[in-house]
Amino acid sequence: MNKKNISWSIRIVVALLFLVSAIAKLYPSPYFAISTFEVKQLYTLGFSDTIAPYFSRILIGIEFALGFLMLSNHFLKRITIPATVGLLSVFIIHLSYVTFLSGGNSGNCGCFGELIPMTPIEAIIKNIIAVVLLIWLWKISENDKKSNIWMLTSITLACILGLFMLAPIKASSTSISNSNDNINTEIDTSSIDLDKDATILTNEAAEQHIDSIEKNLIKTEKAVEEVKKEMGPKQAVSGYSDLYADIDKGQKILCFFVPGCEHCRVAAKDLNALQKKHKDFPAVQIVFMDEEPEKIPDFFKYAGKQFPHKVIDIIPFWTKLGSGKDTPGVVYLHNGNVIKFFDGIAEKAFNSKALEKVIYKK
């Protein structure tokens, strides 16, 4: 195989790598995918919610641009190949740092979005291979001849602007506030009436009166313990009161669902079954991600019941669900205390029997 064929083979492979990576970050829908990428990848790196939307679109736009420019002869050796090697090197350093901090090789690096999950180690190996191929390509490539800088800049700007048009930055549809709901409960034990005239009673009557008082005290103590048990743990602030004002009062089940998520639908159906089984089952309140909200009626049809619900934008949804957590998210709260938190479809996945055991101490 001559140098020309080798050169074009490498260019096509690397171009496909970048184009598939960029397209994957737009799956299953551009705004949903990019917002998820921001929360799960950029926020963890310290990007603010004002910078992340711009950086994510520019980054994916550059990936598209490098994919197309790799197939172009304009400044291939002087700009495109070095820029691609530089970007891949940054990815390698970042992934190595993340792997070192996490102490393992778990999770999705986000290189191909949610379309093709890839661990950090797999991504590092992939990027190193790509860098080696590009260095080889740089060595066998001829020097740039007639190159048009406007072609290079036009492709790059068109790809970046295209991302902003495909997935416009939206203002958050849900404001986050810090409101507290405090519950003050007092136990009235004033029903114990001590007879002020006990001194004039006979010894026998006095002893009977004292016995009666002791029994009343014992009953009162038991009643206090039962009330405390019913009251649950000490009042706390969950941080979810901006979603539902009464979420920190008593026992509640707060769910984070996506309307089109099959696992979320199954979880809702299981919660409906638990409510039918236990008349005193905690109230269920749902927060839906604003992704395919038109599927919400079908969601409740499958679940067999329509629960109280609200829809919030994608980024606030992921932020409220919590870093590293995935859908379906089911939270059992008692007086604002998070007693149990189910999330995702792996080891922490929602389990109706486990929830029932926690609530009823079975």
Angle subtended at Cα 252 by Cα 251 and Cα 256, rounded to the nearest 5 degrees: 160
- What is the amino acid identity at position 143? N
In angstroms, the CA 209 to CA 321 distance is 58
Q: What tens-digit pLDDT sequence spans the chain (362 residues)?
A: 688 899 999 999 999 999 999 999 898 889 988 998 888 888 878 888 889 999 999 999 999 999 999 999 999 999 999 999 999 999 999 888 877 766 656 666 777 767 787 888 888 999 999 999 999 999 999 888 878 899 999 999 999 999 999 999 876 544 333 333 333 334 344 444 444 444 444 556 556 656 666 666 666 555 444 544 456 789 999 999 999 999 999 999 999 999 999 999 999 999 999 999 999 999 999 999 999 999 999 999 999 999 999 999 999 999 999 988 999 999 999 999 999 999 999 889 999 999 999 998 86
206: how many CB neighbours lie within 10 A of its CB?
A: 14
What percent helix, strand, coil does the chain show, rounded to 5? 55, 10, 35
In angstroms, the CA 52 to CA 128 distance is 26
